[in-house]
Each structure stands twice: as C-alpha cells, then as structure tokens.
Structure 1
Amino acid sequence: MTRAEECPEEFDPTRLLTPRAREVLEAARTLLERDGWAALTMRALADELGIAAPSLYKHFASKDALKSQLVAVGLKDFGEALRPVTSVAALVRRYREVAGANPELYRLATHGPLDRDALPPGLEDWSGSPFFEATGEPYRAQALWAAVHGMVILELDGRFPTGSAPKATWDELANHFS
C-alpha cells in the first residue's frame, strides 16, 4: 500500500480549531463510528468527554456545525487515503477499504444534502480529484465514483446475496473503467 498524501493546509478543516475543539471532534468521531449519527447527541458527546453539555457549544455552535466538521474531516481523510493514484483498480480497492473501515463517517459524508458552504473552499474538489486522475475525464470520473459509492453502500448494508460483493464484482467494476 502506498503512503497517503496529506491534504493541502488550505483545505484542512481542522486547521483553525483549538486543541480542545479537536478533542471534541475526535470524541464525536469515535461515538459516530461506535453508535451511528442518530445516537450522537450533544449530551452523549459531553458524557463521553466528562463535561457538561453546554460546554460543547463553546466549540461547535450546534449539532449541525459538528456534523459539517465531521463531513469535512471525512472528505479530507478519504482524499488523503486515495492518493497517490496509481490505477483505477488500486483506487477502487483503496476506496472500498477506507469506507469499510469508517462506515458511519462514510455514510455521514456521502448521504443526504451536502452543506458545501460549511466546507473549506476547494476541499470537495480536492477530495474527489483522484477519480479524475484515474480516468482523465470528468464525466467518466463521476460515473466511476457513483458506481464505487453504490457498491460500497450495498456492501455496508449487506445487500449483496453473500453480504458483500465478491472480488470478481469489484474487479469487473475496475476493469470497466480502466
């Protein structure tokens, strides 16, 4: 596996956070992966940190603000993990691995409306650019991402007959876009 490339500083969603806000965000991410978004309440987060719930609002104005920050961190992490791009097959394999290792963050970052105004400018494009690098064509890149995303969601939901897509199905997807 190749070493991930770091997100450019201007796209890093945590660069302006205080150390305590970063600690809150990390605890939120832990709760998210353990219990899911619906169970991640400000009270549960405060309990996890051993603080009073109102204290959280010093760092994040609302649960929606926390969600936007988690989505931005997810986009950053996924973008870093997919670099450098060496082939469509490697990109597809790595995307599947990263989403499977962080299923709740993946769902949060890719499901429902995206508050683009809450993201660091350029982060979304940077995060998705490995698909363009792999295909060399913007619509082909979008089609590849849509196909990989669909398979990841089906796999996370156990919707393939065996619970996960067989290697042959993933290989066929990569071959189709190579």
Structure 2
Amino acid sequence: MTPQPPPLSARAREITRCARRLVEAHGWDAVTMRVLAAELGIKAPSLYKHFRNRDALRAALITDALAETGERLHAALQQEHSIAALLHEYRQLAQSSPNMYRLATVGEMPRSDLPDGLEEWAGEPFFLVTNDPHLAQALWSYAHGMAILEIDNRYPPGSELDQTWEKGIQAFVSSLSGD
C-alpha cells in the first residue's frame, strides 16, 4: 500500500498541479513562486498560505513523483514479475516526464519532508525482483544511470539504446541465476 502524505487542500493541490506543468515544460529551476503565482493568476504571497517556501513545494512534487513511480513499478510487477518488466516501466516513466524524473532522482533527497516509508516503498520493486538489497541498489543504479543519460541525450548518435537496455537486463538476470 502506498504510504499516504498528509492531505493537501484543494488549493494546494491546484498549486502542485500547476507547478508540475511548469516543471514538465521548463524544469524545476524555472519554477519560482512569482512565476507560479502569475500562472495561477494570484499574488506570490498567497502561495505561502499553502507552502511555507519553495522547498516545501519541491517536497510536495517529489512526494507525488515517488508515489507515481511506486504505483507504476508495483503495477508492472503485478502484470509480470520480472526484471525486464520493471526496467521497461522505469524507462517509460523517465521518458514520459523527464523533468519530473530529474526532480525526484537528481540532487539531495529532502527525506525529512517526505511521508514516512514513501521512498522505500517506491524503490521496493527493485528488491522484489532481486531479493537482495545490494543487487536491488545496483539494479536501480543501472536503471537510473541509463534513464538519466538517455533523457539528457548523452549517448552518441546512432546508439541502439533498446539493445543496451536489453543487455543490462540480461546481465542482471544472469547474475540472479548464477550464470
């Protein structure tokens, strides 16, 4: 079950939805309280009634991103309990919302501002397919590295990334079977 964050007011939810649209369009650095307020048609000080500061808004967005990540990854494993299913969904998640992916996975994690257990639950599918905490972290590190390099267009032109992902999947599957 998804760890539940404290409920947000309807207005705070509206603010986070707008902030997410801005993040997805322009990245987190472009989201200022002034820009967000203008987008919502309100004055910037009104935002502070719902979020104590920009960091609190960031934590709310990361909370949403981790909850979505966990839901999608757990659902993928319910369909097919495999490393391949997990990594295919992870890749799709990063590609579908690259700026939200960056916000949730790059830079320091504001753990004290997140719901208890959310980060662990979102990452649990990696443990579920490996049954080993170190291999789970290695698998996530592989997936994250591939995902961030791919969405940042860091691979040389002409790279066959589908094959690179598949080779990584094969390597992890082989490590579990002892091949």
Q: TM-score, normalised by structure 2?
A: 0.91
Give the share of equivalent positions with the same residue, in percent.
Answer: 50
- Distance in 2 between residues matched to 1:160 and 1:12, nearest whole Å: 37
Larger radius of gyration: 2
- Give the aligned residue type for 2:4: D
Over 6 Å off, 4+ runs: none
- TM-score, scaled to structure 1: 0.91
Cα root mean square deviation, aligned: 1.3
1:115 offset after TM fit, Å? 1.4
Q: Give the helix-richer structure, 1 or 2.
A: 2
Residue equivalent to 1:88: 83
Deviates more, 1:21-30 or 1:158-167: 158-167
Change in Cα spacing, 1:165 to 1:138, as seen in structure 2 (3 Å) is farther
Deviates more, 1:125-134 or 1:81-90: 81-90
List alignment gaps of at least 5 residues for structure 1.
1-6
Q: Are residues 79 and 43 of structure 1, via their aligned partners in 2, closer, same or farther at CA, if it must alter by over 3 Å?
A: same
Q: What letter matches 1:58 in structure 2? A: K
- Compared CA separation, residues 46 and 129, structure 1 to 2 (3 A): same
Matched-pair contact (CA < 8 Å) for 1:27–1:45: yes
* Residues in 2 aligned to 1:65 and 1:98: alpha-carbon distance in whole angstroms: 24
Which amino acid is the alignment partner of residue 106 of structure 2?
H
Equivalent in 139, 161, 166 of residue 166 of structure 1: 161
Alignment pair present for 1:30 and 2:21: yes
1:152 to partner: Cα distance: 0.5
1:140 counterpart residue number: 135
The answer for unaligned runs of 5 or more in structure 2 is 174-179
1:109 matched residue in structure 2: 104
Give the whole-Å Cα distance in 2 for the aligned partners of 1:102 and 1:137.
29
1:149 maps to which of 136, 140, 144: 144
Cα distance in structure 1, aligned partners of 2:159 and 2:94: 13
